[in-house]
Amino acid sequence: MKIEQTKEVIKVGIADLNFVRVPDTIRTSGLGSCVGVVVYDPIIKIAGMAHVMLPDSTSSKKKDFNHHKYADTAIPILVETLLKDGARKFALKAKIAGGAKMFSFKGKSDVLRIGERNVEAVKKCLKKYQIPILAEDVYGTNGRTIEFLPETSMLQIRTISAGSTEI
């Protein structure tokens, strides 16, 4: 008789991060200009997900800020925690989604390009760690919900007004 493991969906809030092992999955909702970053080891089947809200922590005026909110501080936490939990540095891979342009304004202000800036910051940080991005679903104008399955390394994406896809 085989003992069945129950599958749980681990949730990641806005400006938050969390970790998962098989058989569980990990999900975040409300990705507009935010970027969902999944870093995982496909053999050990362990993953971390961050819901990155802003590109750069130097914009924070507080000394004691939420490190999960920014690309430049959330991704190092993801990577270091995964390595501590048994992931292998050489095996780490990434998938990303989000970075939509949620509002349309006239003008070229950098402040209004938050989705693009988030994607750029995430890619820069992953490159620094030499973690390849195997798939991405970024930009556009619609919000997303993503769920990562460490068993298959599949990222399921539900895009508002555009249906579902897997990468």
Cβ-contact 48, 18 below 8 angstroms: yes
The question of whether 125 is a catalytic residue gets the answer no
Residue whose entry in the numeric block shows the structure tokens 């390394």: 153
Candidate list 20, 34, 94, 126, residue with the active-site label: 34
Which SS3 state, helix, strand or coil, does residue 118 take?
helix
Cβ-contact 118, 34 below 8 angstroms: yes
- Strand 93-98 and strand 133-138: the pairing is parallel
Choose among 128, 151, 143, 155: nearest CA to 49: 155
- The residues that bridge with 38 in the sheet, in sequence order, are 49, 95
Give the residue numbers marked as catalytic: 34
